[in-house]
């Protein structure tokens, strides 16, 4: 599942951890 910060996600992007393979995003919902 690809997640982009620009996607219409219901929540605020609290933390974005860039990775070589995937990006870990913590959402404050």
d(CA 20, CA 8): 24
pTM value is 0.20
**Is the predicted pLDDT of residue 8 greater than 60, yes or no?**
no
Which residues of the chain form beta strands (DSSP E)?
Answer: 12-17, 24-28
Residue 1 CA, distance from chain mean position: 11
Average pLDDT, the chain: 62
- Residue range(s) defining the domain that contains residue 22: 1-29
Query: Which has the higher per-residue pLDDT, 28 or 8?
Result: 28
Rg (CA), the chain: 9
**Is the predicted pLDDT of residue 9 greater than 60, yes or no?**
no
Q: How many domains does the chain have?
A: 1
How many Å is the maximal CA-CA distance in the chain?
26
């Amino acid at each position: 599942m690809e997640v982009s910060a620009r996607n219409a996600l219901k929540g605020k992007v609290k933390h974005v951890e860039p990775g070589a393979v995937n990006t870990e995003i913590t959402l404050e919902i």
